[in-house]
Amino acid sequence: MTTFAEKPRAGTGPADRAAAVIPPQQQYLGMPPFPEAAPAQLRNSQQRINLEHATHTIRGKRNRLVAEKDDWDALRTAGAAAKNEVLLHLDTYLQQFEDAATAAGATVHWAPDAHAANRIVTEIAIEQGVTEVVKAKSMATEEIGLVEALAAAGIDAYETDLAELIVQLSGDIPSHIVVPAIHRNRSEIREIFTRNMKNFGRPAPDDLGDEPRELADAARRHLREKFLSAKMAVSGANFAVAESGALLLVESEGNGRMCVTMPETLVSVVGIEKLVPTWRDLEIYLQLLARSATGERMNPYTSVWSGVHDGDGPQNVHIVLLDNNRTDVLADEVGRQALRCIRCAACLNVCPVYERAGGHAYGSVYPGPIGAILTPMLRGLGDKVDQELPYASSLCGACYEACPMEINIPRVLVQLRADVVDRERTFPPSPERVAMKAAAAMFDSPGRLGLGEKLAGLSHKVIRGERGITNVPGFGSWFSTRDIGEPPAESFRGWWERTDGGRDDHDKPRHGHRPGEVPGGDH
């Protein structure tokens, strides 16, 4: 398969180079629905091997460190409660955050949607006269397609997170929330570096091997030039503290700290749900996030910044508060719990569907169980991709058990499935809708139910075979993975009527009880 990095380049300028290599955000919307995408991903045996190894490794580390915490369940409950407090009073906390951040010297921008956020960041870059920016890992900027928006304005945005760098150099798209290149192994990464790193700056060494230390060193040398020359950086934030206007970023490599401290201009794009009320609340989340995301007691790098400080750090600080339909999700009493998500990806690492199908099958910036609920709520259910996402789950509940924020993902999935059905056109009705209407009418009437049971009994004489019913016209996709057992010759109702409630022809109880005796009762 041809990657974006291998496609012919239209020009040699920064916008041409970025547009030729970085896949457009529109690709997510243009990807096929999960039922069509998953089979193709399942055939990628190397990807399945990579995913199984990586997710099991992270899961094992996470479980060992969670077991150390006797108060883990209490921490989860406290974290969920603090987030619920913010969501119920979000307007108050947002105003408090803006006031504190502005007082500290930052400029706060409000972005109702992705277009507005991209415009704000692009205008800042143009105003500063930059053609290149360095970028820390950020799901919010991935969500809005910021890299593509900057490229359209002639500005290159270079990913500095190692996994994001791998994805960018290969012209790929992320497949995991915490480890975007989880679907790649080290030999593939070596090939990507050797072939494409030169297109973005310092090339990889000619004798580059596939040892992790060598690969990390090649990335470090490549990125060092970007950090030293960049005048502007873009970041996200894991948390925003309402009482102080501070932002907090946790990471494992140090690239994020370089982004938020070295350039003259720093722009942080932050989802409005990232707020926490006080500094004290961070005590909870720093324990929950590191263990759940990477299986560490604490992230190696925890960076905090607030406003502008003379002679220390960026002197031009902007914060873009991103809505992008989050307030619509907030209005959903069941679905709003998805806004508690701290992007740890613990649900992905335990999900049997994600492990086999991989992140690309979801057609979403947010893959896995959390993506199956968050994406349809953020984008709406108007697209076939989003309508299919709530069904990309076996409802096994492993995601709910693993979630450090107690998000009941299966509960939200069931509600979204109901929403999808409610949005279906009523004419012509789908086979599923006809079947459910017929079932509802039958179960609503004892007479109709009895008639249905008798007809099922008659079908016993027609259907023969160990597999039972293997297909019904109009339900081919349903029967492609399951069968219905052979209907019994006699229903329970029929047996009850024939035997007079369980008695035989001689008026003796079938189970040894005398007439009129209540089994297990006094007599």
User: 13-27, 127-141, 263-277, 286-300 — which is least confidently predicted?
Assistant: 13-27
Choose between 274 and 493: higher pLDDT: 274
Nearest CA-CA partner of 159 in 94, 223, 202:
223
**pLDDT tens, position by position, 506-520:** 555 555 555 445 544
Rounded to 10 deg, the angle between the 368-379 and 409-423 helix axes is 40
For the residues 414-418, what does the mean pLDDT come to? 95
**pLDDT tens, position by position, 342-389:** 999 999 999 999 999 999 999 999 999 999 999 999 999 988 999 999
What is the Cα–Cα distance from 442 to 447, expressed in whole angstroms?
8
Q: Classify 328-423 by CATH class.
A: mainly alpha
Confidence of residue 181 (pLDDT cuts 50, 70, 90): very high
Please say whether the beta carbons of 152 and 15 come within 8 A. yes
**pLDDT tens, position by position, 397-406:** 999 999 999 9
Please say whether the beta carbons of 457 and 487 come within 8 A. yes
User: 133-137, 191-195, 407-411, 491-495 — which is least confidently predicted?
Assistant: 491-495
**pLDDT tens, position by position, 71-92:** 999 999 999 999 999 999 999 9
What are the DSSP calls for 56-106, one per residue? HHHHHHHHHHHHT-TTHHHHHHHHHHHHHHHHHTHHHHHHHHHHHHHHTT-
Mean pLDDT for the chain? 88
Instruction: Please report the pLDDT score of residue 490 as a whole number.
Output: 84
What is the Cα–Cα distance from 19 to 30, expressed in whole angstroms?
17
User: 208-217, 271-280, 302-311, 475-484 — which is least confidently predicted?
Assistant: 475-484
* Residue located via tokens 């209540």: 518
Nearest CA-CA partner of 205 in 219, 223, 186:
219
Rounded to 10 deg, the angle between the 431-443 and 446-459 helix axes is 120
Task: Give residues with Cβ within 8 angstroms of 31, minimum separation 6.
Answer: 37, 360, 363, 385
Instruction: Please report the pLDDT score of residue 428 as a whole number.
Output: 78
Helix (H) or strand (E) holding 51: helix 45-67
What is the Cα–Cα distance from 330 to 337, expressed in whole angstroms?
8
Nearest CA-CA partner of 58 in 298, 350, 255:
350
For the residues 174-186, what does the mean pLDDT come to? 95
Kindly list the domain boundaries of the chain, sorted by start residue.
4-30+69-324, 328-423, 431-498
Instruction: Please report the pLDDT score of residue 500 as a whole number.
Output: 83
Rounded to 10 deg, the angle between the 72-88 and 90-103 helix axes is 90
How many degrees, rounded to 5, is the angle at CA 231 between CA 228 and CA 235? 95
Instruction: Please report the pLDDT score of residue 494 as a whole number.
Output: 84
Which residues are 234's β-sheet partners?
A: 135, 267
pTM for the complete prediction?
0.83
Task: Give residues with Cβ within 8 angstroms of 464, minimum separation 6.
Answer: 486
Task: Give residues with Cβ within 8 angstroms of 164, minimum separation 6.
Answer: 135, 137, 174, 180, 181
Task: Give residues with Cβ within 8 angstroms of 297, minimum separation 6.
Answer: 65, 68, 290, 291
Choose between 100 and 30: higher pLDDT: 100
SS3 179: coil
What is the Cα–Cα distance from 459 to 466, expressed in whole angstroms?
15
SS3 275: strand
What is the Cα–Cα distance from 177 to 345, expressed in whole angstroms?
6
- Percent of the chain residues past pLDDT 70, beyond the cut: 87
Instruction: Please report the pLDDT score of residue 76 as a whole number.
Output: 97
Rg of the Cα atoms in the chain: 28
Instruction: Please report the pLDDT score of residue 169 as a whole number.
Output: 95
Tokens of 2: 């041809």
Judged by phi (left if over 0) then psi (alpha if -120 to 50, else beta), residue 155 lies in beta
The answer regarding whether domain 4-30+69-324 maps to CATH 3.40.50.12500 reads no
**pLDDT tens, position by position, 2-60:** 232 332 223 333 344 333 333 334 446 568 999 999 999 999 999 999 999 999 999 99
What is the Cα–Cα distance from 363 to 94, expressed in whole angstroms?
31
Instruction: Please report the pLDDT score of residue 221 as a whole number.
Output: 96
What is the Cα–Cα distance from 468 to 470, expressed in whole angstroms?
6
What is the Cα–Cα distance from 480 to 517, expressed in whole angstroms?
49
